[in-house]
Amino acid sequence: MFVKKKSVWLFLLPGLLLLMVFYVVPLVGGVRYSLTDGSYKNVFVGMANYRSLWKNAMFLTGLRNTMELSLICAPLLWVLSFLLASALMAVKPYGGFARSAVLLPYLAPSSAMLLAWLVLFDFGGPVNRLCVALGFSRVMWLESGALRLPIVLMFLWKNLGFCTIIFLSALQTIPHPLYEYATLEGAGFLRQAVTITLPLVTPSAFLVFVLAWINAFKIFKEVYFIAGAYPDESVYTLQNYMNNMFEKLNYQDVTAAAYSFAVIVMAIFAVLFFAQRRAVRDLS
């Protein structure tokens, strides 16, 4: 039996204070910035900043590109990590080594990784040489809208390992006899996947999907490192916009953009959350 004591607050106080200082206060301060005009008089302007933001072509371009990239990267990552986890389950000799190796890209420093990709996708690099060998013409991978492909590949390469490990741990918790019974009953691979695997890994699958999407929203540093503050329009992300506004110390636009995006993300994940709950119920 646990007895509630008032002294528990003393233990919680340091953490709560830190939470206040590093989360709550900046949050409230950010909201304040987004509702003022940032001039000498710092006048309260209500939603005017948000209204002008949603009419700003570069914000909309950044938002659109961020959503498109996340719609490409997140499902792709989810599917690939599930397939890879399933494959790793089947690898018996050197299985441990394979599982560790798959995590290496996640642990590698981004800047080192980016340099390698720059060399790969350089105009005279191996990828273009392969294109030429296959009869295609060379592509300016790093200079044009074609930068999307290297960005997506980099994202997948970086994050695949971590998501795979999550799926792998979920798959490993599924009792093997279930598959044996299903096989004896005549269930094929697909039937087993739909009736046994998916329902039992749904919470982890949801977690992977959320993580994948969050990481996809954060795609920025690769773009910035390769193409600078003003990349091609097709890879100009929301973070590019916010970064540029931050450099100009335009805190009003930065905070308005950040909170607008936060609302969108919360809405998306709310939908996903309810969908996941329903899926678990239905599959059960």
Partner 1 sequence: MKRAIALILTLALLLGASCALAAGNVTIARQGKDGFDDYIESMLVFGDRLLLSSYDKLYTWSQEGGLVEIEGYDELRQNDFDTENERTLDLGEAQIELGEGERFYFNGAVYAVDDRLFRSAQIADDDGVVAVLMVEMIVGEDGSLSLGDVYDLGDELTEDYGDGYAGYSDLSRPCSMDGIVYGLVWGDNGQEIAAVDIENEDVDRLTVDWDLSSGSIGSIAPFGDGQLLLIVDDYNGDKPVTDLLVFDPESEETEKLGEMPTIDWETPTALCYDPERGMIYYTLAGSVWRMPLTEEGLGEAEEFADMPVQISNAALLGDLYVTSGFDGVIGRDVTVEKAPEQRLVIEGGSSEMDGAYFSFTEKHPEFMVALRHSGIEEDDVLQAMMGQQSDVDIYCVSSSEQLYSRLLSRGYMAELGGSEKLTAAVDETYPFLQELCFKDGELYAVPLGFYSSAQKISNKLLTEKLGYAQEELPTSWEQVFRVIADLSHGKLEEAPELQILGPGYTRQSVQSSVLYSALSDYFLWLDADEAHVSRASEVLVRLLDAYNEIDWYGLGLPEEYEEDEMWEWNEENILLNYYSLYVDSGWGGVEDEFTPLSIVDGEEPMISADVRLAFVNPFSKHREEAIEYLEMAMDEIEESNLIQMCPNRNDPIESPYYESNLKEIEGTLKDLEEAVAKAEADEDDEALEAAKESLSSYQENYEEFKKYGRWEVSPESIARYREMVPYLVPARSSLWSSEDTYSQVDQFIDGAISAEQLASKLSSTLEAQRLEGN
Work out whether 233 is an interface residue with partner 1 (CB under 8 A).
yes
Q: DSSP assignment of 61-122, as one string?
A: HHHHHHHHHHHHHHHHHHHHHHHHHHHHHH--TTHHHHHHHTTHHHHS-HHHHHHHHHHHTS
What value, to the nearest 5°, has the Cα angle with vertex 230 and ends 56 and 227?
145
Q: Tell me which of 117, 217, 236, 259 binds partner 1, using CB under 8 A.
A: 236
**86, 192, 195, 244: residue in contact with partner 1 (rule CB under 8 A):** 244
Tell me phi and psi for residue 134, to 5 degrees.
-90, 5
For 44, list phi and psi in degrees, rounded to 5.
Answer: -75, 125
Distance CA 62, CA 258 (A): 12
Q: Is 52 or 86 the residue whose CB approaches partner 1 more closely?
A: 52
**Residue 253 and residue 245 in contact, taking contact as beta carbons nearer than 8 Å:** yes
Q: Is 251 in the site for partner 1 (CB under 8 A)?
A: yes
Q: How far is the CB of 39 from partner 1 (least distance, A)?
A: 4
133 is an interface residue for partner 1 by CB under 8 A: no
Q: Residue 38 corresponds to which tokens in the numbers above?
A: 């940032």
**CA-to-CA distance for 52 and 173, rounded, in angstroms?**
51
Residue number, 2 or 40, with CB nearest to partner 1: 40
- What is the C-alpha to C-alpha distance for residues 126 and 142, in angstroms, rounded to an integer? 13
In whole angstroms, give the CA distance from residue 251 to residue 256.
8
DSSP category for residue 248: T
Q: Is 105 left (phi over 0), alpha (psi -120 to 50) or beta?
A: alpha
Between 68 and 232, CB nearer to partner 1 = 232
* Binding status of residue 234 toward partner 1 by CB under 8 A: no
Amino acid at 98: A
Q: Is 228 in the site for partner 1 (CB under 8 A)?
A: yes
Nearer to partner 1, 143 or 180 (CB): 143
User: Whose Cβ is closer to partner 1: residue 94's or residue 230's?
Assistant: 230
| Binder among 13, 18, 214, 229 for partner 1 (CB under 8 A) | 229
Q: Does 122 bind partner 1 (CB under 8 A)?
A: no
Contact with partner 1 (CB under 8 A) among 41, 92, 176, 281: 41
**Min CB(257)–partner 1 separation in Å:** 11
Q: Does 137 bind partner 1 (CB under 8 A)?
A: no
Instruction: Determine if 143 is a binding residue for partner 1 (CB under 8 A).
Output: yes
Instruction: Choose, by CB under 8 A, the member of 48, 58, 139, 207 that binds partner 1.
Output: 58
Given candidates 14, 40, 185, 284, which one binds partner 1 under the rule CB under 8 A?
40
Contact (Cβ atoms closer than 8 angstroms) between residue 137 and residue 131 = yes
Residues of this chain that interact with partner 1 (CB under 8 A) are 38-42, 56-58, 143, 228-230, 232-233, 236, 241, 244-245, 248-251, 253
